């Protein structure tokens, strides 16, 4: 591992402290005419981090990536990379390698020449170039494909060449713009782990744009969840999944039940025709109308006659678990419970059966009605 890194990089990724900020973005705004695509983005990315920009189509992920690259300069705000203000620099004066969704390899150049392209532009000597290209192609399991042309490669192979080409000049920052979305599911999952392993091996600071939550959860050290040109939450995958800061994040990442509730008295909420106890640390001063969020896998069912009462409306077999569709008494919103096949046997579930529903305190989150943050 060490020798591969050495062949690629005489210290490019090893002599910088992991505590240092690689990128500091402040007050970044991007206008397209009257339309504001990015609104006052503030974000710091540490040296060696793998960060995913995650959000629905049109939320501004690619615009932010392109601003960082200098391909679509911001209207306002600053970008500082390793202490250097790059805000006004053209792309060629910035320090990054980029991989696009559509591979974007030179079709008339072989795999070897595609990867060597940037190194030749830097006028490196031939032996040095050969050593670097060989090491890069070995890293992405493409040794032996040097003489092939892009058209003779599969989508996944082309994307691995694109990755090698982006890393060839040892950029400080690797930018990946939906690199996996054009590939079929099986190749995508395989390449996902290859990219992650490569990134960890080299320690190169990486930003990947994706609208695929599973991709972000499995690959990122930290996820930046974006919505309508702004940042909703920045956190580790576990933080984002377990403590979503807003109703938007709660529903965008993973499956989530959202139920309308109204406060009745201290710690007591009305849910349909029923009452639900919810500790004060969950409600955090929210009163009146609110939305209660609970993950399906956190819902437990029993035959007891206490707690919330519900009727089983449907049971779906999903292999590792059962997805139970429930109708809570007096509540219009459906409730989903994901339970293991073994737990389902204990409760002896059947259609139209009445069951008791329980939400553990730590699994409940309340958001103000109207989509605000908790
Ligand atoms: P997707 O996942 O669909 O690629 P995204 O989150 O990457 O979406 P962006 O491509 O960053 O979204 O676009 C953000 C918003 O800015 C969208 O509403 C888009 O229509 C708009 N936009 C992007 N580029 C331009 C442009 N050159 N001119 C005008 N509007 C643009």
Residue 13 pLDDT = 55
Residue nearest to atom 19 of ligand 1 (CA): 58
Residue nearest to atom 17 of ligand 1 (CA): 58
C-alpha to C-alpha distances, 137 to 57, 132, 196, 200, nearest whole angstrom: 33, 9, 16, 17
Choice from 61, 180, 208, 211 to test ligand 1 binding pocket (greatest atom count within 8 A of CB)? 61
Which atom, in ligand 1's list, is nearest to the CA of 66?
Answer: 11
Per-residue tokens: 257: 């039940």
10 Å CB burial of residue 88 (0-12, 13-18, 19+) is exposed
User: How far apart are alpha carbons 97 and 357 in whole angstroms?
Assistant: 51
Residue 121 pLDDT = 85
| Helix, strand or coil, per DSSP, at residue 313 | strand
Q: Find out whether the beta carbon of 32 lies less than 6 Å from any atom of ligand 1.
A: yes
Which atom, in ligand 1's list, is nearest to the CA of 30?
Answer: 16
Residue 89 pLDDT = 96
Q: What is the pTM of this model?
A: 0.89
Q: Find out whether the beta carbon of 158 lies less than 6 Å from any atom of ligand 1.
A: no
Choice from 30, 56, 62, 67 to test ligand 1 binding pocket (greatest atom count within 8 A of CB)? 62
Kindly give the distance from the C-alpha atom of residue 231 to the centroid of ligand 1, in angstroms, as a whole number. 15
Residue 131 pLDDT = 94
Could you list the pLDDT tens digit for every one of the 374 residues in the chain? 334 455 555 445 555 555 679 999 999 999 999 999 999 999 999 999 999 999 999 999 999 999 999 999 999 999 999 999 999 999 999 999 999 888 689 999 999 999 999 999 888 889 999 999 999 999 888 999 999 999 999 988 999 999 999 999 999 999 999 999 888 888 888 889 989 998 998 999 999 999 999 999 999 999 999 999 999 999 999 999 999 999 999 999 999 999 999 998 888 899 988 999 888 777 777 888 999 999 999 999 988 878 899 999 999 988 888 999 999 988 889 999 999 877 777 767 888 999 999 999 999 999 988 766 66
Query: Which residue, among 365, 286, 349, has the nearest Cα to 315 in the 3D structure?
Result: 349
Residue nearest to atom 11 of ligand 1 (CA): 60
Residue 341 pLDDT = 79
Q: Find out whether the beta carbon of 67 lies less than 6 Å from any atom of ligand 1.
A: no
Residues in Cβ contact with 104 at an 8 Å cutoff, skipping those fewer than 6 apart? 162
Kindly give the distance from the C-alpha atom of residue 63 to the centroid of ligand 1, in angstroms, as a whole number. 6
Q: Find out whether the beta carbon of 58 lies less than 6 Å from any atom of ligand 1.
A: yes
Specify whether the CB–CB gap between 54 and 102 falls below 8 A: no
Q: Find out whether the beta carbon of 61 lies less than 6 Å from any atom of ligand 1.
A: yes
Residue 11 pLDDT = 45
């Amino acid at each position: 591992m060490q020798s591969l890194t050495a062949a690629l990089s005489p210290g490019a990724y090893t002599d910088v402290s992991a505590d240092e900020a690689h990128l500091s973005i402040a007050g970044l705004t991007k206008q397209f005419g009257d339309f504001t695509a990015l609104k006052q983005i503030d974000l710091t990315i540490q040296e060696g981090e793998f960060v995913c920009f995650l959000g629905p189509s049109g939320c501004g992920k690619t615009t932010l990536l392109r601003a960082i690259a200098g391909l679509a300069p911001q209207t306002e705000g600053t970008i500082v990379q390793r202490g250097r203000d790059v805000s006004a620099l053209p792309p060629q004066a910035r320090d990054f390698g980029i991989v696009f969704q559509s591979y974007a390899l030179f079709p008339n150049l072989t795999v070897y020449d595609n990867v060597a392209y940037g190194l030749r532009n830097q006028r490196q000597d031939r032996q040095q170039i050969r050593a670097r290209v060989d090491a890069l192609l070995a890293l992405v399991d493409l040794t032996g494909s040097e003489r092939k042309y892009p058209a003779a490669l599969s989508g996944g192979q082309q994307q691995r060449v694109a990755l090698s080409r982006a890393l060839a000049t040892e950029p400080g920052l690797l930018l990946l713009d939906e690199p996996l979305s054009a590939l079929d599911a099986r190749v995508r999952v395989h390449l996902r782990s290859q990219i992650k392993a490569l990134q960890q091996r080299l320690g190169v600071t990486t930003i990947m744009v994706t609208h695929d939550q599973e991709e972000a959860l499995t690959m990122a050290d930290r996820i930046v969840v974006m919505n309508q040109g702004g940042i909703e939450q920045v956190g580790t995958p576990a933080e984002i999944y377990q403590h979503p800061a807003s109703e938007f994040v709660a529903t965008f990442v993973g499956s989530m039940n959202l139920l309308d509730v109204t406060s009745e008295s201290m710690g007591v909420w009305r849910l349909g025709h029923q009452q639900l106890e919810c500790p004060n640390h969950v409600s955090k001063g929210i009163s009146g109308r609110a939305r209660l969020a609970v993950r399906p896998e956190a819902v437990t069912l029993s035959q007891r006659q206490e707690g919330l009462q519900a009727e089983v409306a449907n049971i779906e077999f999903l292999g590792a678990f059962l997805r139970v569709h429930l109708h809570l008494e007096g509540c219009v919103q459906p409730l989903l419970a994901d339970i293991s096949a073994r737990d389902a046997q204990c409760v002896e579930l059947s259609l139209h059966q009445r069951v008791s529903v329980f939400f553990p305190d730590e699994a409940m989150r309340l958001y103000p009605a109207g989509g605000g943050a908790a």
